[in-house]
Amino acid sequence: MNGLVWARRRRTAARFWSQFRQNKAGVFGLVVLALFVLTALLAPVLTPDNALSVTRPPGSPLDGPSADFPLGTDRSGRSMVDMIIWGSRVSLTVGFWATFISIAFGTLFGILAGHFGGWGSSLLMRVTDWFLVMPSLVLGVALAAVLGRSLTTIIVAIGVTSWPTTARLVRAQTLAVEARPYIERARALGGGHLHVMSNHVLPNVMPIVLAQTTLMVGSAILTESTFAFLGLGDPTTASWGATIQAARDVGAVSSRMWWYILPPGIAIVLVVLAFTLVGRAIEGVLNPKLRERL
Amino acid sequence: MSLLEVDDLTVTYRTGGGDVPAVRGVSFALEAGQKLGLAGESGCGKSTMALALLRLLPKTARLTGEIRFDGEDILTMSWGRLRAVRWAGASIVFQGAMHSLNAVQRIGAQIAEPIRLHSKATEAEIRRKTGELLEHVGLPARRADAYPHELSGGQRQRVMIAMALACDPKLIVADEPTTALDVMIQAQILTLIESLVAEQDISLLMISHDLSVLADTCDRLAVMYAGRIVEEGPAAAVFGAARHPYGQALAAAFPRIGDPASRRRPQGLAGDPPDPAELPTGCAFHPRCPARLDHCDRVDPALWPTADDDRRAACVHVLPDEGLSLLTKEPA
Amino acid sequence: MADSALPTAPVPQLAQSVRDRSGVRRRLRYYGEKLGGSLVSLFAVILTSFFLFRIIPGDPVRTMTHGRPVSIEQQEQLRREFGLDKPLAEQFWSYLTGVLRLDFGDSFQFNRPVTDLIGERLWPTVLLVGTSVVISAALGLWLGVRGAWNHGSLSDRVNTGVALTLWSVPSFWLGLILIVIFASGAGWFPTSGMESTAVEGWERIPDVAHHMVLPLVTLVAVVYAQYLMIMRSSLLDEMGSDYIVTARAKGLRDLIVRRRHAVPNALLPTVTLIFVNLGFVVFGAVLVETIFSWPGLGQLFYSGLSVPDLPLVQGLFILFSAAVILMNLLADLLYPILDPRVRP
Ligand SMILES: Nc1ncnc2c1ncn2[C@@H]1O[C@H](COP(=O)(O)OP(=O)(O)O)[C@@H](O)[C@H]1O
Ligand SMILES: [Mg+2]
């Protein structure tokens, strides 16, 4: 029984991959993502021990590109290449955790509301309505302002403001799944609420959630850089957004220190674009009607 | 000369998953004032054929063969000429009128649109003509101000018919005009179409999965299977005594007009029609055929005159024994 | 031959007037519901802003004075000033009535009523955001229509790719890059502000326009992609529908089929999005205004955040949220005019 299930899952995964592979943009995004994840994991190996040190920096401040520092140095004399490498850690961490919070809450409430319906469902719709009309960035900024400046605050702020979108999507999907006849059958056979939700609804909702997740990580990273730029992040973390903010602070704009401003922005664009492309490719595989138009 | 002559028409859809030969060499003729019915299960290429007649298929479709309408070759015609032939020469009543009408335009405007395009009538004349057309199909003229969603399914199909008549065409192609309607309304719409084409001497190509509907309305019947016509002849004869086993199955499936239960699959016929991308070898029907012979998976019979020469069928059972080797294409 | 679903001829006068009256009632109910929903949302926003800024941190005075040395007496003084020594319900009541009178209190850093500050800074933002929305909607819709009509073509792929890339660009970074290249670099545009000091009278119009070019380009670049993608996919949906085949079968040119049939239908979902977005763009202007020192609400918000200037941030929070609510409401009211199917 279990072996059969696994064989089926493997077949499904293989089919998914063979369709995903046909989307060149999606594959490109996946490769870029893999590179960034690798960079983030290997950051301690790729950079010297004092890479992030402000007191014992490897170089002198605000130098242009040179053989030692291909992208120059920042205001403390740290190599911009190392800053970008360490920044990928921050961005990916924030992206993943914020999305995790958002997806976990969104999926939980979405499935509960869709499954049980009734006043709980209406209440959820009201609450999400309310979240959706409040510019989430404002709410996030306000949260960050009152909770103090740290990476955790940013993660919580993004997660808290983005779960309603997921919840709505999941609720709609749950309603669609529960309308299918085999759910009726599962209930008739004595399947309890928990059984129906975890064995029937969840597996069917997961694909949508997966596509949503990848798209959401991209926008969470974008939001993180915005927060960091607005000075709401932890001033000691080397996030890309914070680096851009630091560049602006030291007048890199008027003195045209392109090596200070350009690289972190390009890194953000690449990561966000990669997530977006992968997310769209997944959506395309799941929804053939969309596929032909990607 | 016939009004419409289709000669060895093929339509192939190019898709990511390979070529889909939806129509594979269809030939027939339709005389002026004649009513031809085209039957077959869904997916056998009827709509593709109908849309090909006015080159309305998406860009992914490749057409070969010849379509002569009123003496002109549709497939080689210039775009300008083709647009002039569309609706003024031949118009179409589509299946499912809900989606065939523009939901955000008033129906009067939609009926008036082709009149304005194809004639030099003034606005007042157009408005009068629109009202007349509506009354002609049994709707009050003031309904011209209604939006499609304000009408019932039957009323919308009446609007489609009024629209099809707007430019006094020589041919109306009706693709499953009654499929989405319930039985009572189906009969009304059929009667309406029949009386209007008779009154104005319009040729009719009516498409349905329901052989009995066609047998009631049309002079001649053609039965399509997997992109080919497999049987053709006078309506009563084909419906009453089909020669092709598929025609027989279809006739048995719809003993009575518009029985929704048997819409999908003819009774007593196991299996589904083949996927055009993966056709069986030999006769495309042989896997489902109750009268299959041993060599049916190797020979693919052409449409061949049967005992009386007004009828044709594509089945080894109607071929003269000695002709078998001459008339069939052995797979290479 | 009569269609059984045809409505039987009504007794003219009576039936007509009954139908009219119930129609009016239905319409009133629809608009009433939408309006009521917006008011509920607005109330929720005011509630949020009250609790978010006063309750979460435990002591708002400490938040206000975050990181600055303040004596105990000063803190007590502030606490009395803001009525923080009163019961919570009473505080909320006076806050609510204040907000309803458009009184958001006095800004800490400017020592002036927040309402006055907002009034001064409103127009620059409306000018910048309004212009950017018009341009990005026009650009996005136009490119979206073209993309869908020639979908899969080289120009469509390039356009989609560019749009997705720009969508991934942080607006503040793009602004900085534009300044580096075109302002502090080439010197074609001013680096900051809305107008030059020396300019008077009619001359101000070209001057403001000159100042507005770079902020405008930044805003449009990051926003138009969304319109493009929505319009493109919505038009692709419509192009597959049966009524488009009908329109082509009538003998209409492709251009007319597109303009008269496909686009009006595809616009319906897009219009809603434009309106909803409009509210968000106001806030999106925070970053761009900050980068370009554009004297609008966004810049005001940024300066309030860095202090933090609580009454100012609160007031703007309510204003930005109210903008989104208002735009949502407008979209709800406008939609029935465009789509007869949802006409109440
Ligand atoms: N645009 C298309 N692209 C690819 N295949 C198509 C397309 N339209 C129809 N087909 C395929 O062509 C075959 C015939 O379809 P159709 O003409 O609609 O049949 P019918 O009208 O008899 O139901 C079907 O197998 C269908 O899947
Ligand atoms: Mg069909």
Q: Does C248 touch chain B (CB under 8 A)?
A: yes
| Domain membership flag for residue B274 | yes
Record: contact A293-C151, CB cut-off 8 A = yes
Q: Does C307 touch chain A (CB under 8 A)?
A: no
Closest residue of chain A to C149, computed from CA coordinates: A293
A51-71 pLDDT, tens digit per residue, is 777 777 777 777 777 777 777
Instruction: Give residue B52's domain range.
Output: 4-89+167-328
| Domain membership flag for residue C19 | no
Q: Residue C38 sits in a domain of what CATH number? A: 1.10.3720.10
Structural contact between residues C132 and C216, judged by C-beta atoms closer than 8 angstroms = yes
Q: Count other C-beta atoms under 10 Å from residue B304's C-beta.
A: 18
3-class DSSP state for residue A194? helix
Give the count of Cβ contacts less than 8 A between chain A and C. Answer: 122
Number of domains composing chain B:
1
| Length, in residues, of chain C | 344
Q: Count other C-beta atoms under 10 Å from residue A141's C-beta.
A: 25
Instruction: Give residue A263's domain range.
Output: 17-44+75-290
Record: contact B102-C261, CB cut-off 8 A = yes
| Domain membership flag for residue A231 | yes
CA of C160 to the centre of ligand 2 (A): 34
Q: For ligand 1, atom 20, name the residue with the nearest CA.
A: B43
| Domain membership flag for residue B156 | no
Q: CB-CB: which of C248, C252, C265 is closest to B103? A: C265
Please provide the average confidence, as pLDDT, over all residues in chain A: 81
Say if residue C5's pLDDT is above 70. Answer: no
Alpha helix (H) ranges present in A117-195? 118-133, 136-147, 151-178, 181-188, 193-195
Q: Residue B213 sits in a domain of what CATH number? A: 3.40.50.300
Amino acid identity of residue B232, one-letter, is: E
| Domain membership flag for residue C191 | yes
CA of B332 to the centre of ligand 1 (A): 28
Q: CB-CB: which of B149, B152, B192 is closest to C1? A: B192
Q: Residue A131 sits in a domain of what CATH number? A: 1.10.3720.10
End-to-end Cα separation, chain C, in angstroms: 32
B58 within ligand 1 shell (Cβ under 6 A): yes
Q: Does C175 touch chain A (CB under 8 A)?
A: no
Per-residue pLDDT of chain B (332 residues; tens, 9 = 90+): 789 999 999 999 988 778 899 999 999 999 999 999 999 988 899 999 999 999 999 888 999 999 999 999 999 999 999 999 999 999 999 876 568 899 889 999 999 999 999 998 899 999 999 999 999 899 999 999 999 989 988 899 999 999 999 999 999 999 988 887 888 888 888 999 999 888 888 999 999 988 888 988 899 999 999 999 999 999 888 888 888 888 888 888 766 554 554 444 455 677 778 888 888 888 888 888 888 888 888 888 888 777 666 888 888 887 765 455 544 444 33
Work out the minimum CA distance from B138 to partner chain C, whole angstroms. Answer: 7
Closest residue of chain B to C249, computed from CA coordinates: B86
Q: Which has the closest alpha carbon to C152: A27, B112, B307, B58?
A: B58
3-class DSSP state for residue B169? coil
Q: Which has the closest alpha carbon to B228: B59, B76, B9?
A: B9
| Domain membership flag for residue A190 | yes
Positive or negative CA dihedral for C116, C117, C122, C123? positive
B27 within ligand 1 shell (Cβ under 6 A): no
Q: CB-CB: which of B102, B114, B153 is closest to C251? A: B114
**Which residue, among A123, A134, A294, would best test binding to C if mutated, counting the most C CBs under 10 Å from its CB?**
A134
| Domain membership flag for residue B117 | no
Instruction: Give residue C256's domain range.
Output: 30-342
Q: d(Cα C96, Cα B164) in Å, to the nearest integer?
A: 63
Which chains form contacts with chain C, at 3 or more CB pairs under 8 Å? Answer: A, B
Structural tokens at position B304 = 């061949």
| Domain membership flag for residue B155 | no
Number of domains composing chain C:
1
**C239 CB-near residues (< 8 Å, 6+ apart):** C148, C149, C262
- Residues of chain A with Cβ-Cβ distance to C328 below 8 Å are 133
| Domain membership flag for residue B295 | yes
Alpha helix (H) ranges present in B88-244? 97-100, 107-118, 123-136, 153-165, 183-200, 211-217, 235-240
Say if residue C68's pLDDT is above 80. Answer: no
Q: Does C6 touch chain B (CB under 8 A)?
A: yes
Number of domains composing chain A:
1
| Domain membership flag for residue B130 | no
